[in-house]
A = this chain, B = another copy of it.
Amino acid sequence: MATSDRIHHADVRTESNCVFDVIKDSRSGRHAVLAHSDIRRAISALQSGPVSFCRNNVIACQGDDADYMFMVVSGVVRACKIFQNGDRAVVAFYLPGDLLGWCNNTQSLSIEAATNAVVLFFKRRPLVSMAAHNPSLARLLLDLATKELCRAHEHAALLSRDAKSRVVLFLSELKSRSAGKDRVVLGMSHQDIADHLGLTIETLSRTITSLERSGAIRRAAGRTLLLRDAWSPLRITLT
């Protein structure tokens, strides 16, 4: 790995202080019920603080035992399925506040940092058994799993469409999942996005270029895209 392995302690500290808020925010008030102490107990039960990963570092291996779940504190995390021939599908991206690693049997996906990222580790067993005594935690887990299931379904539906639609819908999803503003920061590489959309980097690049030429988006520095004023997939002709 070319990127150096030094840990960004500054990130860890500042971001980790926000973890509780992240959780609350992503639940849109409905889970304010979930007291900080619940999460504190969960964290202390498994004793693993936030860990920093450099871009492309592996957080959990395809084939490993799936003893942990993960919460993204900062950066972008990807879940990949790696095939025998070395090809790869990026099954999902996770943004700050997302909980991942649901599959309770042998880890079927490789979990990797798509950008430099800070991740919280949760031991699965304690977390799940704590949910048995804590209905609001149980509810939170079910809601998060359900939400991710919906996203996975949308993603699968997206994959049977043409290249332009895939890119447009991907950008829309990213927009709504991040700030919701017209500025979308793609932390991940084109290769990651292409593998997520079932395209090649060349096709992705061409598609983005053509969206730019049609005025739907503008490129900005640092893997950032500016979506046109009234961006909406409905206003762009999809097949």
Which residues does A use to contact B, with CB under 8 Å?
79, 81, 83-85, 87, 89, 91-92, 102-104, 108-109, 128, 131-133, 135, 138-139, 141-143, 145-146, 148-150, 152-157, 159-161, 195, 198, 238-239
B152 and A156 contact, CB distance less than 8 A: yes
A198–B81 CA distance with the chains assembled, in angstroms? 18
In the bound assembly, the distance between CA atoms of A120 and B43 in angstroms comes to 39
Q: Give the nearest-CB partner of A92 in chain B.
A: B153
Most buried by B among A85, A89, A148: A89
Q: Which of B104, B139, B239 contacts A143 (CB under 8 A)?
A: B104
Write out the residue numbers on chain B whose beta carbons fall within 8 Å of the beta carbon of A239: 85
> Using Cβ atoms and an 8 Å threshold, which residues of chain B touch A103?
146, 149-150, 153
Chain B residue nearest in CB terms to A136: B132
Cβ A108 vs Cβ B153 within 8 A: yes
A153 near B109 (CB under 8 angstroms)?
yes
Chain B residues with CB below 8 A from A152, complex form: 149, 152-153, 156
